[in-house]
Amino acid sequence: MHVVAKWTVLIEGVHSLKPMTSGWRRPSLLPLGLVVVAAVIILAGGTIRILDAGESCPDWPKCFGTWTFDVSEEEQLQWWEDNPDATEDTRGAGHTYNELEIFSEWVHRLLVGLVAFPILLNAIWMHRLRDTYGARVRNVAVLAGALLVMQAGVGALTVVYDNRDWTVALHLCMATIWTSTLLHQYHAMRMIEGVSWGIFSTSGAFLAKQRRRTDAFAAAVLVLLALGAWVSSTAPGAQYNQACSIGFPDGWPACRGQLLPSMDHTGILVQMVHRTGALVVGALLIFGAARIKTASRKAGEPLALAGAVDFVGGLWMLNLLVGAGYIVFADADGFPEGLSLLHLVLGVTAAVVAISVTMMSRLVPRKDGGGESE
């Protein structure tokens, strides 16, 4: 009852700020705008990946000792000569990068730096509006700021460890969680502002019954996203993305021409775990949404939760096809990196939505009893 009373007071408090909660003046537009910026930063990171430019700035926060991206080949070689203790580029001594490759890394770092101010503003503003939006929104805004600092630190790790696969996977997962945190803040604010979304019309008890299932979906999608980053970011020579060969059907759906290939190569093992895991998660999302839909109808609840899980499942299955296309359409000249970027975008989107769905269910107060998920 205390939780219900708290939300009642917060919702009533919105009426005192009615001019602020309408149209473009809504405070909730700030975290939504930050979600868009976060998406652009992730897209910039994906562009670095397809340009294979993750090591184009070997130091941090500077780039070859400068604050610009205009670094000639001679200047790059001179920097390596002046910094003999720096970790050597995985492509070997003497490798240089063009201006576009360096710019992609430089602008990615710049965007992270520039977003720090609105993130700080977001935390301060939500603290000032805590009487209206509550401590939860304020705390989530502060968490988003802390996650940005941590994300910058992980970004530095990727430089120090020359984009080792585990650093890239951690960097991507942190970016996904950070984006999800901002989106959760937006959802929490919109609920208090009185938006009439179906999931907020669902009883808290029903959502609590399904929470174990939605939590599992979010965790599974995030783990598979990390595994995908691992596959795509191995150092030159390992190349896990090529471990199962290319083309149809030898590269996909088979692996080196076999549906059950020998696991005598680490790359094949990682590929098969990734592929099998992706299929299992896709099946769980589809069947899980069907179970939630059946339970919703039986309980007389809106189908919003099932629809949201269905949407995640649809994104996931579409991404399976894109991932397959990445292997099938590869040739001797290389992989279709545009599909690689699309694969990343769809994977991150599915993870953000999955996390947001289970976090939104926690916004609805639980007024009555409830049991475990069915």
- The tokens describing 329, both together, are 């359409």
What is the average per-residue pLDDT within 179-195?
Answer: 95
Q: What CA–CA distance (Å, rounded) separates 212 from 197?
A: 22
DSSP 8-state symbol, 334: B
In angstroms, rounded to a whole number, what is the distance separating the alpha carbons of residues 317 and 283? Answer: 9
Nearest CA to 180 out of 3, 42, 318, 20 is that of: 42
pLDDT tens digits, one per residue of 268-293 = 888 888 899 999 999 999 999 999 99
Residue 92 confidence (pLDDT): 73
Residue 336 has pLDDT above 50, yes or no: yes
Among 220, 233, 241, 238, CA closest to 168 = 233
What is the Cα–Cα distance from 154 to 60, expressed in whole angstroms? 11
Angle at 29 between CA 28 and CA 31, to 5 degrees: 75
d(CA 355, CA 73) in angstroms, rounded, equals: 43
26-80: pLDDT as tens digits: 899 999 999 999 999 999 988 888 888 888 888 888 999 999 999 999 999 999 9
Q: CA-to-CA distance for 52 and 72, rounded, in angstroms?
A: 18
Residue-wise pLDDT tens digits, 205-247: 999 999 999 999 999 999 999 988 887 766 544 467 778 888 9
| Residue whose C-alpha is closest to residue 348's, from 116, 41, 142 | 41
Is the pLDDT at 90 greater than 50, yes or no?
Answer: yes
Q: Tell me: the pLDDT tens digits for 121-173?
A: 999 999 999 999 999 999 999 999 999 999 989 988 888 887 788 888 899 99
Question: How far is 87 from 148, CA to CA, in rounded Å?
Answer: 26
Residues in the chain: 374
Start-to-end CA span in the chain (Å) = 26
Lowest-pLDDT choice from 21-25, 149-153, 261-265, 296-300: 21-25
Q: What is the pLDDT of residue 21?
A: 55
Helices marked H in the chain: 2-14, 29-50, 73-82, 99-114, 116-128, 130-160, 165-192, 204-232, 266-299, 304-328, 337-360
* % the chain with pLDDT above 70: 90
- Report d(CA 184, CA 206) in Å as an integer: 20
